[in-house]
């Protein structure tokens, strides 16, 4: 069964460094999403992406964040200058229509 | 403010027993309501999705109900198994008309099924 994959599973970085989180959505899906979940808290929407551009973004998704679909398979989330409060699980999701979203296993980002 | 509230926060039941998880929401405009199961350290997996016109939907031992008038939903788990131990998250999608909307997540109910 096709699934969303994410790499790395765990990323440790120093405050102020740039990180890129990678996702490979399910191949025929058209809509892509990033969410984050701070430890012990609820999942929060960051951004949705369709037709090579951002569809919607939340207040969390400020100028430090960017997304890109550099080729036909990858979907990336970049954080330019990480802060301690960026430490969280980051989930990628994709969907063929916007009705059902399939989530990846997540990347745990630890900022020290 | 758009919010999704779930109760209880946590629940411990014995294997084989039934349980019901609750979700109240104040999300507008409403598009659909989803229940997800999230194992520790994993991404959420969809159990059910209900639109405004649907009152109940089942997926195996999981049955979700929706009362759009009172803005309440429940997830009933029948004959629980040890593998049901997970967080169950209620998610409401906002409908922005032509756009995709986004998902408003509840904090989840952490269910532990004991032998």
What percent of chain A stands above pLDDT 90? 70
3-state secondary structure of A95: strand
Cβ of B103 within 8 Å of Cβ of A45? The answer is: yes
pLDDT in the model for residue B20: 98
Number of continuous H segments (helices) and E segments (strands) in chain A: 0, 11
Most B CBs within 10 A among A97, A101, A110, hence the mutation to make, goes to: A101
Other C-beta atoms within 10 Å of A82: how many?
21
Distance CA A27, CA A16 (A): 34
Chain B nearest C-alpha distance from A18 (Å): 24
Tokens coding A14: 């120093």
Cis peptide before A8 (omega within 30 of 0): yes
Between vectors from CA B54 to CA B37 and to CA B38, what angle results, nearest 5°? 5
pLDDT at A112 over 80: yes
Residues of chain B with pLDDT under 50: 98
What is the per-residue pLDDT for A19?
98
Question: Rg of chain A's alpha carbons, rounded to an integer?
Answer: 13
A44 touches chain B (CB under 8 A): yes
Instruction: Answer whether residue A55 shows pLDDT above 90.
Output: no
Q: Using an 8 Å CB-CB cutoff, list chain A residues near B103.
A: 35, 43, 45, 101
């Amino acid at each position: 069964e096709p699934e969303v994959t994410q790499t790395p599973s765990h990323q440790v970085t120093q405050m102020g460094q740039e990180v890129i989180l990678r996702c490979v959505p399910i191949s025929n899906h058209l809509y892509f999403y990033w969410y984050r979940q701070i430890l012990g808290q609820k999942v929060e929407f960051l951004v949705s992406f369709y037709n090579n551009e951002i569809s919607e973004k939340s207040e969390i998704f400020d100028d430090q964040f960017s997304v890109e679909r550099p080729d036909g398979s990858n979907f990336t989330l970049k954080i330019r200058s990480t802060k301690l409060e960026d430490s969280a699980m980051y989930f990628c999701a994709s969907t063929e229509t916007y009705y059902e979203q399939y989530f990846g296993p997540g990347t745990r980002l630890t900022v020290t | 403010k758009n919010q999704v509230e779930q109760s209880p926060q946590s629940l411990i039941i014995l294997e084989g027993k039934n349980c019901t998880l609750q979700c109240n929401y104040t999300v507008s405009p409403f598009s659909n309501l989803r229940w997800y199961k999230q194992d520790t350290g994993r991404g959420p997996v969809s159990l059910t999705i209900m639109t405004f016109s649907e009152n109940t939907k089942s997926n195996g031992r999981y049955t979700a109900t929706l009362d759009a008038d009172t803005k309440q939903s429940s997830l009933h788990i029948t004959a629980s198994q040890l593998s049901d131990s997970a967080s169950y998250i209620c998610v409401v999608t906002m409908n922005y008309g032509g756009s995709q909307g986004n998902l408003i997540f509840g904090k989840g109910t952490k269910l532990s099924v004991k032998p």
